[in-house]
Protein backbone atom coordinates (compact mmCIF):
# COMPACT_ATOMS: atom_id res chain seq x y z
CA UNK A 1 0.00 0.00 0.00
CA UNK A 2 1.41 3.35 -1.05
CA UNK A 3 1.50 6.01 1.64
CA UNK A 4 0.58 9.64 1.00
CA UNK A 5 4.22 10.54 1.59
CA UNK A 6 5.44 8.10 -1.07
CA UNK A 7 2.83 9.39 -3.49
CA UNK A 8 3.85 13.01 -2.99
CA UNK A 9 7.57 12.23 -3.32
CA UNK A 10 6.84 10.21 -6.44
CA UNK A 11 5.08 13.18 -8.00
CA UNK A 12 8.01 15.44 -7.11
CA UNK A 13 10.49 13.02 -8.69
CA UNK A 14 8.36 12.80 -11.80
CA UNK A 15 8.11 16.58 -12.07
CA UNK A 16 11.90 16.91 -11.73
CA UNK A 17 12.78 14.06 -14.07
CA UNK A 18 13.79 16.38 -16.92
CA UNK A 19 15.64 18.89 -14.73
CA UNK A 20 19.40 18.79 -15.21
CA UNK A 21 21.75 18.48 -12.25
CA UNK A 22 22.22 15.72 -9.74
CA UNK A 23 21.52 16.15 -6.03
CA UNK A 24 25.25 16.22 -5.31
CA UNK A 25 26.01 19.00 -7.79
CA UNK A 26 27.42 22.19 -6.32
CA UNK A 27 24.95 25.02 -5.92
CA UNK A 28 25.47 28.02 -8.20
CA UNK A 29 27.14 31.04 -6.68
CA UNK A 30 24.72 33.60 -5.26
CA UNK A 31 24.91 37.02 -6.93
CA UNK A 32 26.97 39.35 -4.80
CA UNK A 33 27.65 43.06 -4.79
CA UNK A 34 31.02 44.33 -5.96
CA UNK A 35 33.34 44.27 -2.94
CA UNK A 36 33.54 47.31 -0.70
CA UNK A 37 36.32 47.88 1.79
CA UNK A 38 37.40 50.37 4.41
CA UNK A 39 35.43 53.56 4.81
CA UNK A 40 33.18 52.76 1.83
CA UNK A 41 32.05 49.54 3.51
CA UNK A 42 31.33 51.22 6.85
CA UNK A 43 29.54 54.11 5.11
CA UNK A 44 27.34 51.63 3.25
CA UNK A 45 26.51 49.87 6.52
CA UNK A 46 25.59 53.18 8.19
CA UNK A 47 23.30 54.14 5.29
CA UNK A 48 21.47 50.82 5.34
CA UNK A 49 21.00 50.89 9.11
CA UNK A 50 19.57 54.40 8.86
CA UNK A 51 17.12 53.20 6.20
CA UNK A 52 15.44 51.16 8.96
CA UNK A 53 14.71 54.31 11.01
CA UNK A 54 17.49 53.59 13.45
CA UNK A 55 19.67 56.40 14.78
CA UNK A 56 23.24 55.97 13.53
CA UNK A 57 26.33 57.72 14.85
CA UNK A 58 30.02 57.30 14.21
CA UNK A 59 32.76 58.06 16.70
CA UNK A 60 36.37 57.29 17.45
CA UNK A 61 37.27 54.59 19.91
CA UNK A 62 38.46 57.29 22.30
CA UNK A 63 35.06 59.00 22.24
CA UNK A 64 32.99 55.84 22.62
CA UNK A 65 32.00 56.21 26.27
CA UNK A 66 30.99 59.85 25.84
CA UNK A 67 28.99 59.03 22.70
CA UNK A 68 27.14 56.21 24.45
CA UNK A 69 26.36 58.47 27.43
CA UNK A 70 24.95 61.13 25.08
CA UNK A 71 22.72 58.52 23.40
CA UNK A 72 20.93 57.80 26.68
CA UNK A 73 18.07 60.08 27.82
CA UNK A 74 18.74 62.12 30.95
CA UNK A 75 17.77 60.18 34.06
CA UNK A 76 17.20 56.94 32.14
CA UNK A 77 17.64 53.64 33.96
CA UNK A 78 20.17 51.57 32.05
CA UNK A 79 21.29 47.95 32.16
CA UNK A 80 24.40 46.45 30.55
CA UNK A 81 25.55 42.85 30.10
CA UNK A 82 28.50 41.41 32.00
CA UNK A 83 31.69 41.70 30.00
CA UNK A 84 30.86 44.98 28.25
CA UNK A 85 34.13 46.36 26.95
CA UNK A 86 33.61 49.93 28.20
CA UNK A 87 32.01 51.74 31.11
CA UNK A 88 28.47 53.13 31.18
CA UNK A 89 28.24 55.36 34.23
CA UNK A 90 25.27 54.57 36.48
CA UNK A 91 24.25 51.42 34.62
CA UNK A 92 23.22 48.24 36.40
CA UNK A 93 24.85 44.98 35.33
CA UNK A 94 22.47 42.20 34.35
CA UNK A 95 22.86 39.14 36.49
CA UNK A 96 19.68 37.31 35.58
CA UNK A 97 17.06 40.07 35.81
CA UNK A 98 13.55 38.85 35.14
CA UNK A 99 11.50 40.06 32.18
CA UNK A 100 9.33 42.03 34.61
CA UNK A 101 12.41 43.75 36.03
CA UNK A 102 13.77 44.49 32.57
CA UNK A 103 10.42 45.95 31.55
CA UNK A 104 11.04 48.74 34.08
CA UNK A 105 14.43 49.58 32.55
CA UNK A 106 14.57 52.41 30.02
CA UNK A 107 17.57 51.30 27.96
CA UNK A 108 20.13 48.58 27.39
CA UNK A 109 23.65 49.07 26.04
CA UNK A 110 25.41 46.17 24.32
CA UNK A 111 28.10 45.38 21.83
CA UNK A 112 27.52 43.45 18.60
CA UNK A 113 29.25 40.45 17.03
CA UNK A 114 29.03 41.55 13.40
CA UNK A 115 27.38 44.17 11.20
CA UNK A 116 26.15 43.35 7.68
CA UNK A 117 26.57 46.29 5.31
CA UNK A 118 24.37 45.12 2.45
CA UNK A 119 21.33 44.53 4.64
CA UNK A 120 21.97 46.99 7.47
CA UNK A 121 21.70 44.12 9.93
CA UNK A 122 23.38 43.75 13.30
CA UNK A 123 23.98 40.24 14.61
CA UNK A 124 24.45 39.26 18.25
CA UNK A 125 25.66 35.82 19.26
CA UNK A 126 25.20 36.72 22.94
CA UNK A 127 28.81 36.38 23.93
CA UNK A 128 30.52 38.70 26.45
CA UNK A 129 29.36 42.28 26.07
CA UNK A 130 26.16 41.26 24.28
CA UNK A 131 24.12 39.67 27.04
CA UNK A 132 21.13 37.34 27.01
CA UNK A 133 18.49 37.58 24.27
CA UNK A 134 15.86 38.84 26.71
CA UNK A 135 18.16 41.69 27.68
CA UNK A 136 18.01 43.15 24.17
CA UNK A 137 14.33 42.45 23.56
CA UNK A 138 12.54 43.90 26.59
CA UNK A 139 13.88 47.44 27.33
CA UNK A 140 12.41 50.15 25.08
CA UNK A 141 15.77 51.49 23.85
CA UNK A 142 18.74 49.49 22.59
CA UNK A 143 22.06 51.27 22.18
CA UNK A 144 24.30 48.91 20.24
CA UNK A 145 28.00 49.43 19.55
CA UNK A 146 29.45 48.02 16.35
CA UNK A 147 33.20 48.30 15.83
CA UNK A 148 34.17 49.42 12.35
CA UNK A 149 36.30 46.29 11.90
CA UNK A 150 33.25 44.11 12.64
CA UNK A 151 31.42 45.25 9.51
CA UNK A 152 31.29 42.75 6.64
CA UNK A 153 29.76 43.07 3.20
CA UNK A 154 26.87 40.62 3.18
CA UNK A 155 25.17 37.67 4.86
CA UNK A 156 27.55 34.94 3.54
CA UNK A 157 30.47 36.89 5.03
CA UNK A 158 28.59 37.22 8.33
CA UNK A 159 27.93 33.48 8.44
CA UNK A 160 31.66 32.84 8.10
CA UNK A 161 32.29 35.09 11.12
CA UNK A 162 29.51 33.33 13.04
CA UNK A 163 30.52 29.80 12.09
CA UNK A 164 31.92 28.90 15.52
CA UNK A 165 28.85 30.30 17.28
CA UNK A 166 26.57 28.34 14.97
CA UNK A 167 28.60 25.18 15.55
CA UNK A 168 28.28 25.68 19.30
CA UNK A 169 24.51 25.96 18.97
CA UNK A 170 24.43 29.50 20.32
CA UNK A 171 21.33 31.62 19.77
CA UNK A 172 21.74 34.39 17.19
CA UNK A 173 19.73 37.60 17.12
CA UNK A 174 19.57 39.40 13.77
CA UNK A 175 18.48 43.03 14.16
CA UNK A 176 17.39 45.15 11.21
CA UNK A 177 16.12 48.39 12.73
CA UNK A 178 13.72 48.91 15.62
CA UNK A 179 11.08 46.26 16.22
CA UNK A 180 8.14 46.98 13.93
CA UNK A 181 5.06 45.39 12.45
CA UNK A 182 1.92 46.48 10.57
CA UNK A 183 -1.75 45.89 11.18
CA UNK A 184 -4.23 44.87 8.50
CA UNK A 185 -4.47 48.49 7.30
CA UNK A 186 -0.66 48.65 7.01
CA UNK A 187 -0.30 51.12 9.87
CA UNK A 188 3.22 50.72 11.22
CA UNK A 189 3.49 49.87 14.91
CA UNK A 190 6.89 49.87 16.62
CA UNK A 191 7.98 48.09 19.77
CA UNK A 192 5.74 45.04 19.56
CA UNK A 193 8.44 42.37 19.51
CA UNK A 194 11.43 44.32 20.83
CA UNK A 195 12.81 47.83 21.38
CA UNK A 196 11.01 50.75 19.73
CA UNK A 197 14.27 52.68 19.56
CA UNK A 198 17.52 51.40 18.10
CA UNK A 199 20.61 53.61 18.41
CA UNK A 200 23.66 52.24 16.60
CA UNK A 201 27.10 53.63 17.37
CA UNK A 202 29.86 52.69 14.94
CA UNK A 203 33.17 53.03 16.74
CA UNK A 204 36.57 53.32 15.11
- Confidence (pLDDT) at 20: 66
| Predicted local confidence at residue 189, as pLDDT | 56
- Check residue 97 and give its pLDDT: 96
pLDDT given for residue 187 in this prediction: 64
CA distance 80 to 88: 8
Q: What angle do CA 191, 48, 32 make, to 5 degrees?
A: 125
* pTM, full prediction: 0.79
CB atoms within 10 A of CB 43: 15
Q: What is the pLDDT along the chain (204 residues), one digit of tens a residue?
A: 568 888 888 888 888 777 766 555 665 666 777 788 899 999 999 999 999 889 999 999 999 999 999 999 999 999 999 999 999 999 999 999 999 999 999 999 999 999 999 999 999 999 999 999 999 999 999 999 999 999 999 999 999 999 999 999 999 999 998 765 656 666 655 555 568 899 999 999
Domain boundaries, the chain: 52-203
Fold of the domain built from segment(s) 52-203: Rossmann fold (3.40.50)
Quickly list DSSP for the chain: ---HHHHHHHHHHHHTTT--S-TTSPPPPPP-PPP--HHHHHHHHHHHHHHTT-EEEEE-GGGHHHHHHHHSPTT--EEE-TT-SS--TTPEEPSS--HHHHTT--EEEEE-SEEETTTTEEEE---TTT--HHHHHSSSEEEEEEEGGGEESSHHHHHHHTHHHHHTT---EEE-SS-EEE-TT--EEESSSS-SEEEEEEE-
Amino acid sequence: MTSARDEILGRVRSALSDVSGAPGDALPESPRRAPLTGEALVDHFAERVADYRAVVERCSAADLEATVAAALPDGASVVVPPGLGFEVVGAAVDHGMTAAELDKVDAVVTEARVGVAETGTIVLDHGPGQGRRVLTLVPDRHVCVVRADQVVLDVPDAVVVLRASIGDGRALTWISGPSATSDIELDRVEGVHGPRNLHVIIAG
